[in-house]
Structure 1
Amino acid sequence: MIKTKQQDQQADSKTGQQDRLTVIMPVLLVLKLLLSSCLFLTFVVPNVNSNGTPLFSIAGRLFLGGLLHNDDHVAFKAKPEDTSKYEKYFTQKLDHFKKNSATFQQRFFVNAQYSTNNSIYFLLVEGDNVASSSRVSNLDYPHMISAKDAGATVYNLEHRFYGSSQPFKTMSAKNMTFLTSQQALEDISNFIRTQNQLSGDKNPKWILFGGGYGGSLVVWHRQKYPGLSTGVISSGATVIASGDYYAFQLNVENSYKEADKNCFNGINNAINRLKQLVQYEEGRDILNKKLNLQPPFSSKSLPKYRDLQNFFHNIAVLLQIPVQNNKVNAGVFATEVGIDNICKIFNSTAIENLDKVAQMAKFVITQLNGTYTGVSNSYHDTVAYLKNETFDVNQSRAATRAWFWQNCNEFGYFTSTDNSGLAFGSTIPNNFFINLCVDVFGHHHGIMNVLKVVKNTQDSYGREKKFNQTNAVITRGSVDPWKSLGVESVSDKTAIAYLVNGGAHCAEFQPPKSDDSYGVKMARNLIKTRITRWLSARTKKTMEKVAELKERTQKNFSKRREIVNWDAKIEWNITLPEESALLSAPPGKDRPILADFIGQTSANRHLKRQKEENAFAAKSAGVKPFYFLGYVLQDLDHFNSSNNLAKKWRQLFVSNNAHKKKDGPIFLMWARQFGASVYALEHRYYGYSTPFTNLTVQNLTYLTSEQALGDIAVFIKAINKEHNKTEAEQKWILFGGAYAGSLVAWFRLKYPELSTGAVASSAPVQAKTDFFEYLFVVQNSTKNFGGKTCAKNVHEFFAWDKAA
């Protein structure tokens, strides 16, 4: 059953208002960064006061102190939408594994604006995130562009216990026993089945999207219920539960090291300085003042061990945020908060190590928060915040407590520094997170419970980083610290596990920007291509596009000028004249070595020419030559008889009948496998096929691709006549590469009756006056295949703005 939010909340409105009045709101920014559902980096804003701010990360949720809201900081923001226009509620089972009648209202958003009634549905599966109308309405997002192209209805399903999808009024540990990924997978299945029943579609095609934890859900769902979806798109998914994910910090450190080794060393020296100062009273006083710790370390007593762990964890979080979200096109991460920004601070020689940490903390928190009141420094405040069981109006605390519950009772994902290459060492051990589980949820949630639940999760979803189903694109960023828990291989060719070179956490799910890495752009293209392939050409939208393309093509080529004279004679067994001195001469004064490369698309002319007899002749004694040279007598102008004035010119062709079979096809290249005759036709004005003895501008006016297509058409007709075959009887297959590939493609469109098919390779079919993209490909290829050092050296060589 689906009903509106108003009907569901009327009875509890008074009680809910009283509950919300009792909520304590610290200065807190709940920043869903690390493993949160990263489809759209979403920010929840609490109220602000002057107290200290917990700064904490729970496998994906960071608390900073601040002022960010929902999609306000996503670039290319759409116009504000009326949430009620898309918001609906679905009656969901509370427990899918026991027979009972308990239900709750699960929120979802839906937009059928672009639907063409073709039974195509896009479902964005939320993880530890609050669902939003922007997920189904903002056309800046790649999935919305694909939805519009495919004519799909778009859904965004909120995860149980997150956002407004609350089964209970409080977030007690007892109530949250129903918060598991297994229940969430059943929620998805029940939702899809119900929508199918309501629509009455006999062949619905569902494409599931998910990022972060949501990405894990769609991967697991595809493997468990492949019959309910056509395919899945997953980004940044962590599919392996891990009680101690120390690789997270290692990946963070490696990203800094790969970006700038001096920066890495600077960070290392700064952390060493912190470790020195925290050991004695005067040093802690310096930390209190320099970092504006809230609350400060006490000068009267030694800090507790957990307070020290909490302090170093908060510093680590400030270094982790820019890496995981490096250049992700969402708010400040697009340009302001990334690895380069942090390295500018730690590469500075003007300030000492502690000042670098202070500047880094102020920079990151200010960018994310809008203001800076210091670095939070209270383990007690964090525990108190997480122990609060009330449901808060802005939904941040409930979502944070829910996600921490799943960490302590399903996944682990605890980001310790026990194996850190930096000076953090063991300052943030794994038991820091396990102790937090105990302090928040009780002594039953200690180390033995964590080991048990992580093993259970691994038993359920597997321990291999391999996807064993069809139709999936599963991406993970090379810069994303969560990449080590992601899918690395697949068992079926219809699925792809793709490492996004230069990509951070879910970067390809964000709106495109001009300086996105090549890997991010490739990932978006891969996703788009695979979705199109899965949905195939059977959809109404696709059929309309095909019809439109066909109509446009026919319109363009229906304007073709008719060939005046189809009667061309063939001269067989001709002898080639000697090459001119200029043609056969090595590069020099009269033949500059680079001149041949100007605007050149074909590789053949770059290669060293060989004598014709070496290329074609059969030298063995007594062996009959397998090739024949010939001319076809062509008109200079196929479309205007007055220009010809009996002007004929000879066009060279080569014929090879060595593999010919009776009634076999005719190829303009390969032949052996198909028992075909082969012809190679030289282009007018190239090689020996020259209508004039000189290449004046006036003479070159007859050198056009349109005339070349006419040459091919007349040649085919002439050969058919030689063999007494009609066009219907003779099967011609045309081959061409580069510009020749363009010709055979255009020929197939312009003269479809004269060929059975065409094979074109590397054909530039679009005319362009400024093909600047060519050097982009050269540049990216240099980077990808030659390495960063090669690309850097090439860049420095061509840095014209620098002094020689």
Structure 2
Amino acid sequence: MLLVPMVVLFLPWLQSALGGRNMWLIKQQVLQSQEQRILKHLLKNSNGMTEPKEGLFPQPLDHFNRRNNGTFKQRYWVNANLWEPRLGPVFLFIGGEQVLLSSSVLAGEHVDLAQKYRALLVSLEHRYYGKSINPDGLTNQNIQFLSSQQALADLATFHEFIGQQYNLTRNNRWVCFGGSYPGSLSAWFRLKFPHLAFAAVASSAPVRAQLDFTGFNKVVSHSLSNPVVGGSMKCRSAVASAFSQLDRIMAGSNTSQLEVDFKSCQKLNGSDDRAEFACNLASIVMGTVQYNKVVLSRNIANLCQIMTNQSLGSVYQRLMVLNKDYMDSIELQCVDNSHQNILANLRSTEVKPYAMADRQWYYQMCTEFGYYQTCEDKGCPLSHWLTLRFELDICAEVFGIDPGSVQDAVDFTNSYYGADHPASSRIIFVNGDIDPWHVLSVLKNQSCSEVALVINGTAHCANMNPVEQDDPPSLRQARQKIDYQIGAWLAEEHLSSW
């Protein structure tokens, strides 16, 4: 059957920000924009390919306790249209904190490379996301089996399964691809299973876990003032001044005007609601920087045009315009700033394969990574209500996790994987300098075969998207370097095998 392009998504790289609902809505908008890009790409480039194969296979629930006989069905995709079986490599696209669909083996940088190197394309959905989860998996008792260590063991089992299904040999070298958290998994799979993963591309991979991720908003501050992407010092100053005014109002007893001006769905009852309000407004700025130009109508240049336009009134009024522009773009009538509503959503154990998996990702933040994007230092241009304590309290209120234990979990993660000095080989770390997550990745070559690429003027996982005509030269050059490095490694290995 010929491939019929459909609206599909493959964004396992949407890292969460703070607890505000706006960030989740921004993520959904990013997903929709990316779906449209991929649909356009598939309509233009399907070239008679047949539908990729979707499958489910039984995966152990707990790889580290063989007395636990529990399993779950894990979803995968295979595209063999481009593959040359004798020497063609296997390109593994690693899923993350989202549902994973057929586009994971149909479009993107890894698919373009697969066409050149005649690779078998496979992808694996992350446990506890999408359809790869048991009906009772999200309960506090069973969510304990969600971890990066279990996910890497899943990849090892999947490696064996695909090897048997397609009669693979040692000549079919596996190269891993992933972006954001799956980018870290890509690097870690090569690090922990070097006999299985021949090489890895880790895009926008925050391999260094950090409890208090103050660096996120430092990059936001820098990006708002960067003329390369339409920022300016005037823009950064206007944003900082607007949030400073908000903070002064929220420090008082009456927030009724804020509720009207920024279209809150309810009154701000207490400090937790005010913190959610601050998170929601900050998320508009943070999300715009992180996903700069992913949604074409939302980028740093447009944000700065609003925030520096004096004809719109004071900086406070300009922030109102920015908020209204965001709300109009997703047809939102009001903003839910209720902290209790957020907690209720995170406590829900209902499995929704196609919904945003915020409960699962928050659990991993509490038990492995931290990544809390706070704004308590003086240089942060956003609201100082974005505090570490507010985020850590969610771990206790939702999962019963002692907030004091999260730092220990972060320390273990860094010790286990090596943080931003993983001491591995044949890994390419790719980052954009506009992306706030790049500061937790590997930014300098660690050795001759641990290569770091930093792309000027690009945001989160920009290199992973299908090629477009308006891609900047820096992005085109980075893709050429990735192509060259993978080709060189594969060629060296094939020569040595002879």
- TM-score clears 0.5: yes
> Which residue of 313, 317, 325 maps to 1:363?
325
1:233 and 1:476 map into 2 onto residues whose CA distance is 11
Code of the aligned partner of 1:314: N
Shift in Å at residue 200 of structure 1? 2.8
* Closer/same/farther in 2, CA of residues 538 and 277 from structure 1, 3 Å limit: closer
Pairs within 5 Å for 1:61-72? 62-63=24-25, 69=32, 71-72=34-35
The answer as to whether partners of 2:179 and 2:202 remain within 8 angstroms in 1 is: yes
Q: Distance in 2 between matches of 1:448 and 1:79?
A: 51
Amino acid at match of 1:412: G
Match of 2:242 in 1: 270
Shift of 1:179: 0.4
Give the counterpart letter for 1:419 in structure 2.
D
Query: Which residue does 1:528 correspond to in 2?
Result: 483
Instruction: Give the whole-Å Cα distance in 2 for the aligned partners of 1:171 and 1:491.
Output: 38
Distance 1:218 1:262, change over 3 A: same
Q: Which amino acid aligns with 1:337?
A: R
Among candidates 434, 452, 455, match of residue 500 of structure 1: 455
User: For residues 291-346 of structure 1, what are the alpha-carbon distances to aligned partners after superposition, in whole Å with 9 as ceiling and x for unaligned?
Assistant: 1111133xxxxx41222211111111110011111134xxx2xx311100100100
Q: Trace 1:236-251 onto structure 2 (pairs within 5 A).
A: 236-251=204-219
One-letter identity of the residue aligned with 2:238:
G
Structure 2 counterpart of 1:530, one-letter code: Q
In 2, are the aligned partners of 1:240 and 1:486 still within 8 Å (CA)? yes
More moved, 346-355 vs 65-74: 65-74
Output aligned runs, 1:665-684, within 5 Å: none
Match for residue 400 of structure 1 among 332, 355, 358: 358
Confirm or deny that 1:56 pairs with 2:27. Answer: no
Q: 3-state SS of the aligned residue for 1:234?
A: strand
Equivalent position of 2:12 in the other structure: 37
C-alpha contact 2:79 2:121 (8 A) present in aligned 1: yes
3-state DSSP of counterpart to 1:217: helix
Contact 1:322 1:338 in 2 (8 A): yes
Q: Structure 1 residues 195, 484: closer, same or farther in 2, change over 3 A? A: same
- Counterparts in 2 of 1:693-708, with a 5 A limit? none
Matches within 5 A, 1:333-344: 335-344=296-305
Once the two structures are superposed, residues 41-73 of structure 1 have per-residue CA deviations (whole angstroms, 9 ceiling, x without a partner) of 699xxxxxxxxxx9437xxx6245976648423
Aligned to 1:226: 194
Shift in Å, 1:280: 4.0
Check if 1:159 corresponds to 2:115.
Answer: no
* 1:691 alignment counterpart: none
- 1:482 & 1:252 partners in 2: Cα distance? 10
Q: In the alignment, what sits opposite 2:3?
A: none
Q: TM-score, length-normalised on structure 1?
A: 0.56
2:304 matches 1:312: no
User: Superposed, which structure 2 residues align to 1:149-228 within 5 Å?
Assistant: 149-203=116-170, 204-228=172-196
Question: What SS does the aligned partner of 2:376 have?
Answer: coil
Cα offset for 1:149? 1.4
| 1:654-673 mapped onto 2 (5 Å cutoff) | none
Displacement, 1:519?
Answer: 2.2
CA distances 1:493-526 after superposition (whole Å, capped 9, x unpaired)? 1231111111211011112233323321121111
Q: Which runs of 5+ in 2 are unaligned?
A: 1-8
Does 1:125 pair with 2:86? Answer: no
Deviations, residues 507-549 of structure 1 (Å, cap 9, x unaligned): 111122333233211211111111221222898xxxxxxxxxx
1:147 is matched with which residue: 71, 93, 114?
Answer: 114
CA positional deviation for 1:163? 0.3
The size of the alignment, in residue pairs, is: 472
Q: Residue type matched to 1:253 in 2?
A: S
CA offsets per residue over residues 252-302 of structure 1, 9 Å max, x none?
A: 1111122301111111121122123334455x22212211111133xxxxx
The question of whether the paired residues in 2 share the 8 Å contact of 1:250 and 1:420 is answered with no
Please say if residues 264 and 334 of structure 2, whose CA atoms lie closer than 8 Å, have aligned partners that are also in contact.
yes
2:37 partner SS: coil
Which amino acid in structure 2 is aligned with residue 292 of structure 1? K
Give the secondary structure class of the aligned counterpart of 2:24. Answer: strand
1:64 touches 1:365 (CA, 8 Å); kept in 2? no
- Tell me which amino acid in the other structure corresponds to 2:93: L
Secondary structure of 2:394 counterpart: helix
Alpha-carbon distance in 2 for matches of 1:111, 1:65: 27
Q: What is the distance in 1 between the residues matched to 2:175 and 2:442?
A: 19
Instruction: Label 1:246 to 1:254 Cα distance change in 2 as closer, same or farther (>3 A).
Output: same
Given candidates 384, 387, 392, the residue that maps to 1:429 is 387
d(CA) in 2 for partners of 1:231 and 1:393? 31
In structure 2, the CA distance between the partners of 1:293 and 1:275, relative to structure 1 (3 Å rule), is: same
Whole-angstrom distance in 2 between the partners of 1:65 and 1:482: 15
SS in 1 for 2:62: coil
More relative contact order, 1 or 2 (CA 8 Å, 6+ apart): 2
SS at match of 2:123: strand
* Kept in 1: contact 2:78–2:123 (CA 8 A): yes
2: CA distance, partners of 1:306 / 1:66? 24
Alignment of 1:413-492 (within 5 A): 413-422=371-380, 424=382, 426-442=384-400, 445-463=401-419, 465-492=420-447
Asked whether the 8 Å contact 1:467–1:489 carries over to 2, the reply is no
Aligned to 1:683: none
Q: Residue 270 of structure 1: SS of its match in structure 2? A: helix
The Cα shift of 1:448 comes to: 1.6
CA distance in 1, matches of 2:310, 2:34: 37
Residue pair 2:395, 2:402 contacting (<8 A) in 1 also: yes
**Displacement of 1:197 after TM fit?**
3.0
Displacement, 1:170?
A: 4.2
Deviation of the 1:379 alpha carbon: 0.9
C-alpha distance in 1 between matches for 2:378 and 2:430? 26
What is the rounded CA distance, in whole Å, between the counterparts of 2:379 and 2:472 in structure 1? 27
Distance (whole Å) between structure 1 residues aligned to residue 56 and residue 383 of structure 2: 48
Structure number with bigger Rg = 1
Alignment partners' CA distance in 2, 1:86 and 1:457: 34
Partner of residue 516, structure 1:
471
Equivalent residue for 2:334, pick from 359, 374, 391: 374
User: CA separation in 2, counterparts of 1:344 and 1:476?
Assistant: 26
How has the CA–CA distance of structure 1 residues 229 and 172 changed in structure 2, closer, same or farther, with 3 Å as cutoff?
same
- Given that 2:138 and 2:349 are in contact with CA atoms closer than 8 Å, whether structure 1 keeps it comes out as yes
Matched, 1:261 2:233: yes
Whether the 8 Å CA contact 1:235–1:474 is kept in 2: the answer is yes
List aligned pairs for 1:602-681, cutoff 5 A. Answer: none
Secondary structure at the aligned position of 1:504 is classed as coil
Deviations 1:660-713 (A, max 9, x none): xxxxxxxxxxxxxxxxxxxxxxxxxxxxxxxxxxxxxxxxxxxxxxxxxxxxxx
Letter in 1 for 2:153: E
**Over aligned residues, Cα RMSD in angstroms?**
2.7
Q: Could you say what secondary structure the match of 2:222 adopts?
A: helix
The structure with more helix, counted as a fraction of residues: 2
- 1:289 to 1:339, Cα distance in 2 relative to 1, 3 A: same
Match of 1:759 in 2: none
CA distance in 1, matches of 2:150, 2:202: 19
Check 1:241–1:525 CA distance in 2 against 1; reply closer, same or farther (3 A cut). Answer: same
Give the structure-2-normalised TM-score: 0.88
Please state how far the C-alpha of 1:462 moved relative to its aligned partner: 2.2
CA displacement 1:100-131 (0-9 Å, x = unmatched): 33221110011101112134111000121211
How far apart are the structure 2 equivalents of 1:201 and 1:374? Answer: 54
SS at match of 2:36: coil
- Counterpart selection for 1:345 from 294, 306, 316: 306
Partner of 2:65: 98
